[in-house]
Amino acid sequence: MHTAAAHADSGGPKTIVTDNGPVRGVVDDEVRSFRGIPYAAPPVGAARWQPPSAAARWNGLRDATAFAPHCPQNASPFGLPSQSEDCLYLNVYTPAKHSEAKKGDKPGLSPVMVWLHPGAFLYGEGDDYDPRGLVKQGAVVVTLNYRLGVLGFMAHPALTSESGTSGNFGLQDQQAALRWVHSNIEAFGGDPANVTIFGESAGAVSVHAHMASPDSAGLFHRAIAQSGGYSLTQPTLAAAEAEGSAFATAVGCASQDSACLRALPVATLLANQSTSPTAYLPKVDGDVLPLSVSSAFATGQFNRVPVIEGSTHDEFRLFVATSFVFKGIPVTAATYPSLIAAALSVPLSLALQRAGGHAVEPRSSTAQAIATYYYPLAAYPSAAVALGAVGTDAAFACNTRVTARLLARYVPTWVYEFNDPNAPQVFLPPAGFPYGAYHGAELSYLFDVRESVAAPAFTLAQEQLADSMKLYWTQFARTADPNSDAAPPWAAYAPTTSDSFLSLSGATPTPYTGTAFGADHKCAVWGSP
């Protein structure tokens, strides 16, 4: 392990010696940051669609005061456009001045938190999330880029034949970053024996995947998954390879030759890749991910670390906007049942239930039954809000509850629901209905987030909630328990009793009692009584 190296003026920039060479950062607002550090070699040329390899050493002092290029992606509210395949870089944020060790810290070292950014595995970059609020609580925070979309998560038979697997390159990038952290973070004042991985949406799916991946064993010691319950069962390698072969044909590589694919311009790949929010999930490949997340959690075959698991109260309203409203698809009483069927993979078990005394027939009738008997429009201010409730409950809330019940049999687990109905919208313009506690709403309570739209300032109560959340997250990273004397108590989840969720809402977070969470989200409808 390294020790902090070289020279530092009080509160000034500092030079750190990493395995690959020295870096010099910058100080801003009591936070020292080291930006654009390569954690793997550029995946370009013949290295496109290959597992990451070690970064090269450099001579002299590397300037680490500017962020590196982002991984290739199209423009979106959730990331900045890029065509640079040379993108495997990370950023390290540390307190600018040494502070006294807190209870639970190793002397002279701070807990480490590694952020895996969201964006449906299609968009985003590490530097969109400034973690200075977490750093001021005494954590060393790492953010990173990883390969996205077709470059990060396409499987193809020709690629599988080269390295034994394909379709999880972005996940392997994250593992390479974690190995870099293990080897280098002590030089930055972080404790390599106390690493928390945390992420939201695609980042939370990544967290779950690392928990299920033997290749990630020992690289982290706690896990926080924010809104990752929508993908508990990942596609098989065979199914993903079939999609990859179809993509190859579509871009002019009907020969299915890997050389043809590697010769294609990035712009061609981006122009032809799917924009579905579930198109580029990690794959059950028998190698990087031997089992689906749901199977791993159900059988206890996962890296057993303490966990925080959570979701937001109105997750799906964001997708109502992006998938329908902004595409000019009307969300009305007339279209409501068909949009339920379009938005969700309705569980087949629901077709066997009886709704309001009426037999429910297959898929289309199932969607109608959901609209009529479980989520009647009369109970909601608009069809958009009603559709948001259906999607939230089916894809996120009840899956979070299922995940908590599985994990809590094996590891200490704490569960939350972010429930600020007036959370500032930082990604999307107005959509004609209230976003509520939308998918990703909690991010600006933990980070200084790059805003795609101008958002109003926090109220005093929201500032207090943000302070509590940062404290919970960093205290968990420090001690494997989010509780401290400085925030309201948070009971661990017990799968054999009534739900013990913490509602993150208002100035003072409060627990759900009894069956309130399951009833609120109609979890019995979705197979989670």
How far CA 427 is from CA of 187, 276, 320, 444, 451, in Å, comes to 36, 18, 14, 11, 6
Which amino acid is present at 355?
A
Residue 481 DSSP symbol: -
Residue 181 backbone class (left: φ over 0; alpha: ψ -120 to 50; beta: rest): alpha
Q: What's phi and psi for 349, nearest 5 deg? A: -60, -30
Question: Is 463 among the catalytic positions?
Answer: no
Q: Which of 399, 426, 387, 417 is nearest to 502 (CA)?
A: 417
Query: 315 catalytic, yes or no?
Result: yes
Choose, from 156, 208, 210, 439, the residue flagged as catalytic: 439
Q: What's the CA gap between 128 and 449, in Å, rounded?
A: 6
Active site residue 53: no
Q: From 331, 316, 326, select the one nearest 429 (Cα to Cα).
A: 326
Per DSSP, the chain holds a count of helices (H) and strands (E) of 17, 18
The two structure tokens encoding residue 234:
């990942």
Contact between 386 and 336 (Cβ < 8 Å): yes
For β-strands 448-449 and 222-226, DSSP reports them as: unpaired
Question: Is the Cβ–Cβ distance between 9 and 26 less than 8 Å?
Answer: no
Of the residues 186, 241, 315, 417, which is catalytic?
315
Which of 33, 82, 201, 505 is catalytic? The answer is 201
* Cα 90 to Cα 180, 202, 216, 316, distances in angstroms: 10, 18, 18, 30
Residue 359, H or E segment: strand 358-359
- The identity of residue 493, as a single letter, is Y
Active site positions, annotated: 201, 315, 439
